[in-house]
């Protein structure tokens, strides 16, 4: 019985070897799997809602707001990168666009939010100056 098992194994192996394509291996990293996209979203939530170099300059977002924002950033970046897809190659160029779009959108979001947060105090100062100037007139 041992001879039969080894013969079958040898035939199977030789058959598999003959059926394998040679040098026709290809892979593609675009589009990313949903699992990868979810990991990107989770990392964005963490970056937006926990202390970091970014938060030292622009502040942090509450976790629920960071979650909504992260999903929006990822979806917009995915769509923007997908619109540049040309179907050629392994998708590395598209993945680079996706990554850059995420970074750009994240920074734009925190900058905008930071500007909005500081705006009321600067606007109220301006309003007081305008009011006092009107009063003096």
**Nearest Cα to Cα of residue 85 among 24, 37, 28:** 28
Q: Is the pLDDT of residue 10 over 50?
A: no
Residue 133 lies in a domain: no
CATH number reported for the structural domain that contains residue 87 in this entry:
1.10.246.200
pTM: 0.66
- Specify the pLDDT at position 84: 83
Q: Give the C-alpha separation, 61 to 103, whole Å.
A: 16
Q: Is the pLDDT of residue 131 over 70?
A: no
Could you report the per-residue pLDDT of 71-129, keeping only the tens digit for each? Answer: 999 999 999 999 887 766 778 899 999 999 999 999 999 999 888 877 654 444 434 44
**Nearest Cα to Cα of residue 77 among 55, 107, 49:** 107
Residue 2 lies in a domain: no
Residue 76 is part of which domain span?
33-114
Domain count, the chain: 1
In the block, tokens 């779009």 appear at 101
Residue 22 lies in a domain: no
Residues with Cβ within 8 Å of residue 29, at least 6 apart in sequence: 90, 91, 92, 95
Q: Give the C-alpha separation, 79 to 45, whole Å.
A: 19
- Higher per-residue pLDDT: 19 or 30: 30
């Amino acid at each position: 019985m041992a001879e039969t098992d080894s013969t079958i194994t040898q035939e199977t192996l030789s058959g598999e070897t003959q059926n394998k394509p040679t040098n026709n291996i290809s892979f593609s990293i675009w589009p990313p799997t949903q699992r990868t996209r979810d990991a990107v979203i989770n990392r964005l939530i963490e970056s937006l809602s926990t202390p970091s170099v970014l938060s030292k300059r622009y502040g942090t977002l509450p976790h629920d707001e960071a979650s909504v924002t992260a999903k929006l950033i990822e979806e917009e970046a995915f769509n923007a990168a997908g619109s540049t897809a040309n179907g050629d190659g392994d998708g590395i160029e598209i993945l680079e666009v996706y990554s850059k779009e995420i970074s750009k959108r994240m920074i734009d979001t925190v900058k905008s939010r930071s500007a909005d947060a500081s705006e009321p105090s600067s606007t109220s100062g301006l309003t007081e100056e305008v009011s006092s100037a009107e009063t003096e007139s």
